[in-house]
Amino acid sequence: SYVLTQPPSASVAPGQTARISCGGSNIGDKEIHWYQQKAGQAPVLVVYDDTNRPSGIPERFSGSNSGNTATLTINRVEAGDEADYFCQVWDSGSRHVVFGGGTKLTVL
Amino acid sequence: EVQLVESGGGLVQPGGNRRLACEVSGFTFGSYWMYWVRQAPGQGLVWVSRISRDGNIADYADSVRGRFTMSRDNAKNTLYLQMGSLRVEDTAVYYCARARNVVTTILSHWGQGTLVTVTS
């Protein structure tokens, strides 16, 4: 079935820009969604359909998707952005929801 | 306010059964596809199953197909996951989640999860 690959970790200084990648075969042909999960909490949707933000999510969060890589970008990173981030797609061929392995973002 | 509250977690022996429930409020339950997602301790999110609005269609991850059954009672605003032939590797926090709108696979609302521990 379809596989999404994320780097296990990333780090960024406060105020800088974090970019978290999610790789998959022709992922640009799919709609990708991103979730933030802080320690001990349930996941929260932060970007859907590649580039859209749910209400209440800061404009600092944005997404892009093309070719074999999708990217979640967090501008002006804050300490409160420290969390695990997961990408997700729907694989219509297998009728499976697929999550990436997650990236732990550390704010230095 | 949309709320999803899972229950039914606990300790269970390998080979045993367990039924999880997810009671929802704040929206018209029967209008949305629903999902179960699990997370083993210290690990990532793994999709388990999903069910259609009327309960007639259910899809399952390969790892649970034939052992788990997802169902719903729209009159009771409750989602269920019947787990059987449980294995140690089924140990996880189980989250229920709601689709963002009528026909998407975007999980916009999540419960807080219930922990299932499979151990002898």
Give A53-62's long-range contacts (Cβ < 8 A, gap of 24+).
A54/B100, A54/B108, A61/A34
- Examine the pLDDT at B103 and tell me if it is beyond 90: no
Residues whose CB is less than 8 angstroms from the CB of residue B40 and which lie 6 or more positions away in sequence, other chains included: B46, B89, B91, B92
What distance in Å separates residue A76's CA from the closest CA in chain B? Answer: 24
- pLDDT tens per residue across span B4-16: 999 999 999 999 9
pLDDT mean over B47-61: 96
Q: Which residue of B has its CA nearest to A34?
A: B106
pLDDT confidence band for B104 (50 / 70 / 90): confident
pLDDT at B116: 98
Model confidence pLDDT, tens digit, residues A14-71: 999 999 999 999 999 999 999 999 999 999 999 999 999 999 999 999 999 999 999 9
Residues B77-104, mean pLDDT to the nearest whole number: 95
Chain A residue with Cα closest to B41: A40
